Structure 1
């Protein structure tokens, strides 16, 4: 009887790429991939260990899947990803439900680990986080036929004081330009129309490998690949926005006019304690420069509230900055004291109730900004990548919307029947805080 494997992927898009690579290797080795956990002989959780809520979600998911050892056919439960890399021995010692732990640097060892676990071994396969994939590894994509994530680098060397990623994933390591282009060409040949480039900091791409930032040349190269319609870039850093990169965003027709630029704060004192540097005035100049150079640009950012030492006046600086800059997309997060990071032991830790109150104030402001921006879209025509249908409405995304994190466009199509992967023109008729409504033009 063939062995069935089910997998749950948690956390960011970078983790999802690792999940897809593991699924591809298992499939190539003859395992049957199933989306139904009750049918799986082997269940794997690819965990996130970035912040406390993500760690808690990972533990809950492990315990949930462990129930299939009683109610399903599961014989082996494996844990991989960031949590496994960070706490391998603790997971095995404290959770008898787990049959093996596979570190984030061992993605290409998944077949061997599964076989060892099925043979009765309780596996601990965690080493240095040094796995770097190339275009030759098999992969099963989970994002549909028309969209694919491409990881252009692994690890991080920025060392922000609140972040554990460098200790989990290791220093920044870029893939070669040739490897990335080869992968995107293969994706295009397979029908992919939207490629989403991801890394812990995409704007740092190439610095370690070539001695200079190479995101701009990479984007110019990918822009020439036939079949690709959109190239989206996530997770940048303000220090990496060069004039050359701005020119690429403004001149290359396939590069989405969408920049994901986590700024984290606007108070110089807080930014300095975060290890980010800069000031509101410098960030303000950068935002104005981007908007002048790239017509129709959508800016996404994230802010953190409740960082150690954040005073009410620091928080007010952040709110004032948000009101002035009016980011089309923004997420707000509460600081979590992560074990092993400098910020976890800083003086001036902010009480949880203050973090919560600041979070809600910032989110309420951003919701109003988002609603007003969306209302300005009413009456306009937008190009939408169709993703599916819900009830009587089709839905999809514009180039201003990244999957999972941004809103959608819901639209009626009359007698026309769009298919997932189609690009259609939609006239916007109604705006909500995050989503748009419309009709096929």
Structure 2
């Protein structure tokens, strides 16, 4: 029988790449892939288990699919990804809708597991995390012109608030020749923008070569015909070497955009997070980046309400964000994750205070982003066209300052011609709305 399979992938882009590899495996085994879960015989939920809100999203999705299963629309629900890996002894007991729960190390077995589930056989399969395949084919789920390129798996940083090392295992780099080959294939298939991802991209190659190799890998990626934009995400501040900064500055294909999750600026808080530096060290790094890379766009994330964070330490963080004027910034209230060192720390901060602090920084950030958009007025910006907004009656796309799915976009009109989706156009910025630039194609 030709079974139909759908997949719902939640969480980060790294999880999305895993889902694309699952789809490839299933298609190779004869399954028909469908986009609408309601049209499937079996649905895979590739879950996120990073923080409480992400876990709840995964649980809600499983419960909703359970309704389709009770109606007889679908026959089986298979759960994989971070939530399944993290709660492998509990998930099927808590969520009776699930027919199979598998850890990330079982992803290569997905076809057999789906077949068993469709035959009514319950399964719980949790091999070692290192069995998660780093190599393999993918069915691209992003638009044809953009793709994620995962260069490593796992994390060794051991930040005290983070459960990722226990979920995804030790840091493991892919071989550079395999990455380059995959990037060439993506380019041949029409991909123009590659977004380089890992839990910590800046650690890439240390386990293979005894030293950071990201700068060298990026130089090789820049040689691939067809690629126009290469974006580097998830950089760890301690490993942003001069060599890497110079590479980003010198290579035209690498967009001048650095994603640098700092989490905080207070030295005492960072130490308790098992991170390094302080406000002075981080300010020096950011100033160096901006000096070496003119017009660089900096993205960061902060955590408010980490255990023991005082009013003074929060005010230092807020002032740091104000002084540094990150063009892109996310701020999140600390999530107390079980089995992490930070969860057991004294002086846990009240939920309402944590959230209020995050709100203050994000309100402040709205003004900074508005200032940035205003500074663009009158300039020409290269935009990757992504679609047409019928309500606004204009096109939209992303500039080098906009990472897919996490940042905003540029809205623009085209009085004379219709641009092709996935093409690059120049847009003269004339205004902005809700911190998104507005302009006209030139």
1:72: how far off? 4.9
1:226: how far off? 0.4
1:205-224: CA deviation from partner (whole Å, max 9, x where unpaired): 00111110000000000000
Structure 1 residue runs of 4 or more that deviate by more than 4 Å after TM superposition: none
**Within 5 A, what are the aligned runs for 1:230-245?**
230-245=229-244
**Within 5 A, what are the aligned runs for 1:67-146?**
67-135=67-135, 137-146=136-145
Residue matched to 2:4: 4
Matched position secondary structure for 1:124: strand
Residue matched to 2:335: 336
1:132: how far off? 4.7
Residue matched to 1:406: 407
Instruction: Rate the CA distance shift 1:134–1:356 in 2: closer, same or farther, 3 A.
Output: closer
Q: Does 1:420 align with 2:421?
A: yes
Q: Find the aligned partners of 1:353 and 1:88 in 2 and give their Cα distance.
A: 31
Residue matched to 1:31: 31
Instruction: Rate the CA distance shift 1:86–1:182 in 2: closer, same or farther, 3 A.
Output: same
1:73: how far off? 2.4
Q: Find the aligned partners of 1:206 and 1:420 in 2 and give their Cα distance.
A: 35
1:400-434: CA deviation from partner (whole Å, max 9, x where unpaired): 10011001011111231112110000011111343
1:253-283: CA deviation from partner (whole Å, max 9, x where unpaired): 1001000000000111111111112110000
Q: Find the aligned partners of 1:395 and 1:4 in 2 and give their Cα distance.
A: 34
Q: Find the aligned partners of 2:92 and 2:352 in 1 and give their Cα distance.
A: 34
Q: Find the aligned partners of 1:303 and 1:433 in 2 and give their Cα distance.
A: 22
Matched position secondary structure for 2:77: strand
Residue matched to 2:15: 15
Q: Does 1:301 align with 2:274?
A: no
**Within 5 A, what are the aligned runs for 1:316-331?**
316-331=315-330
Residue matched to 1:346: 345
**Within 5 A, what are the aligned runs for 1:196-345?**
196-345=195-344
Two-structure CA RMSD over aligned residues (Å): 1.0
Q: Find the aligned partners of 1:15 and 1:434 in 2 and give their Cα distance.
A: 29
Question: Residue 148 of structure 2 contacts residue 195 of structure 2 at CA under 8 Å; is this kept in 1?
Answer: yes
Instruction: Rate the CA distance shift 1:315–1:8 in 2: closer, same or farther, 3 A.
Output: same
1:309: how far off? 0.5
Q: Find the aligned partners of 1:214 and 1:112 in 2 and give their Cα distance.
A: 37
1:45-85: CA deviation from partner (whole Å, max 9, x where unpaired): 10000011111111001001111113352111010000000
Matched position secondary structure for 1:89: coil
1:133: how far off? 3.7
Show structure 2 runs of 5+ residues with no match. none
Question: Residue 47 of structure 1 contacts residue 82 of structure 1 at CA under 8 Å; is this kept in 2?
Answer: yes
Q: What's the TM-score, normalizing by structure 1? A: 0.98
Q: What's the TM-score, normalizing by structure 2? A: 0.98
Question: Residue 396 of structure 1 contacts residue 410 of structure 1 at CA under 8 Å; is this kept in 2?
Answer: yes
Residue matched to 1:182: 181
Residue matched to 2:162: 163
Q: Find the aligned partners of 2:96 and 2:315 in 1 and give their Cα distance.
A: 48
Question: Residue 383 of structure 2 contacts residue 399 of structure 2 at CA under 8 Å; is this kept in 1?
Answer: yes
Question: Residue 374 of structure 1 contacts residue 433 of structure 1 at CA under 8 Å; is this kept in 2?
Answer: no
1:291-333: CA deviation from partner (whole Å, max 9, x where unpaired): 0000110000000000001000000100111111100100001
1:88: how far off? 1.7
Q: Find the aligned partners of 2:131 and 2:422 in 1 and give their Cα distance.
A: 32
Q: Find the aligned partners of 2:128 and 2:302 in 1 and give their Cα distance.
A: 31
1:11-62: CA deviation from partner (whole Å, max 9, x where unpaired): 0000000011101111111111111121110011100000111111110010
Q: Does 1:440 align with 2:441?
A: yes
Matched position secondary structure for 2:353: helix
1:120: how far off? 2.0
Q: Find the aligned partners of 1:133 and 1:110 in 2 and give their Cα distance.
A: 12
Q: Find the aligned partners of 1:413 and 1:386 in 2 and give their Cα distance.
A: 12
